[in-house]
């Protein structure tokens, strides 16, 4: 099954993608993680990616498409994938569709997770992350057992440079401008499932599980 998760930063795509990845046995491919993995490298690609991410801008389509499709070409994605943060624009969606058609495949389901802007800013600005294992904590909702120290690795927790409140607001504005057309694109194709990410976690999870066939649509 090939699943795309849409939604603004902080809507909960990553949390749901990791959960679904384990349940469905599919790789979770997040464009943001792909780029962050190379940020400390001193290559032309790393410097180009860094120049966009440090000011809160999205990486251009051509660069993003190449990185993601290269990842989807690996053996573990041949039976399906969960895409988180890609496609973000219509050209990216067209490139993904074309790549899949060449392989006799298609996007099967698009989960569109949303939440009000003020909720998203609070969620993202409060995030702190372990630089070793990438576990995410939150100053409002998920504190570590020891102040600013990862429960798993014991490493000092950090706030990502692209998650300061001012940058978050800019990212949300950019998202609305660039990505909203994808909602119409996938809705017209009959593949879009809308999920209110501001609802309690159990409600969000139940809605998503029904949409991907993990539980019956008739289940309460």
pLDDT confidence of residue 219:
54
**pLDDT, tens digit, 9 for 90 and up, residues 127-157:** 899 999 988 898 877 899 999 999 999 999 9
Catalytic residue among 50, 71, 88, 207: 88
- Is 171 an active-site residue? yes
pTM of the model: 0.76
**pLDDT, tens digit, 9 for 90 and up, residues 175-189:** 878 788 999 999 999
- Is 88 an active-site residue? yes
Residue keyed to tokens 């569709």: 97
- Pairing label, strands 81-84, 127-129: unpaired
**CATH 3.30.230.10 is held by the domain 2-116+180-211:** no
91: confidence class by pLDDT, cuts 50, 70, 90: very high
Domain extents for the chain?
2-116+180-211
**CA 64/CA 60 separation, integer angstroms:** 6
- Is 13 an active-site residue? yes
- On the 0-12 / 13-18 / 19+ scale of CB atoms within 10 A, 147 is exposed
- Is 18 an active-site residue? no
Sign of the Cα torsion 191, 169, 83, 27 reads negative
Please list the residues that pair with 23 across neighbouring strands: none
pLDDT confidence of residue 3:
97
Is the pLDDT at 190 greater than 70, yes or no?
Answer: yes
């Amino acid at each position: 099954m090939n699943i795309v998760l849409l939604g603004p930063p902080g809507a909960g795509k990553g949390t749901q993608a990791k959960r679904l990845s384990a349940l469905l046995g599919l790789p979770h491919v997040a464009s943001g993680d792909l780029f962050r993995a190379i940020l400390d490298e001193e290559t032309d690609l790393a410097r180009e990616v860094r120049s966009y991410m440090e000011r809160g801008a999205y990486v251009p389509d051509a660069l993003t498409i190449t990185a993601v499709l290269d990842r989807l070409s690996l053996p573990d994605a041949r039976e399906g994938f969960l895409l988180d943060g890609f496609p973000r624009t219509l050209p990216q969606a067209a490139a993904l569709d074309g790549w899949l058609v060449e392989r006799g495949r298609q996007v099967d389901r698009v989960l569109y997770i949303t939440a009000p802007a003020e909720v998203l800013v609070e969620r993202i600005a409060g995030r702190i992350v372990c630089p070793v294992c990438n576990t995410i904590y939150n100053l409002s909702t998920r504190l570590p057992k020891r102040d600013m120290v990862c429960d798993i690795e014991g490493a000092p927790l950090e706030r990502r440079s692209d998650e300061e409140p001012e940058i978050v607001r800019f990212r949300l504005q950019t998202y609305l401008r660039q990505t909203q057309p994808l909602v119409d694109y996938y809705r017209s194709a009959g593949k879009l499932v809308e999920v209110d990410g501001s609802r309690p976690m159990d409600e969000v999870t139940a809605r998503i599980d029904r949409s991907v066939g993990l539980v019956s649509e008739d289940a309460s």
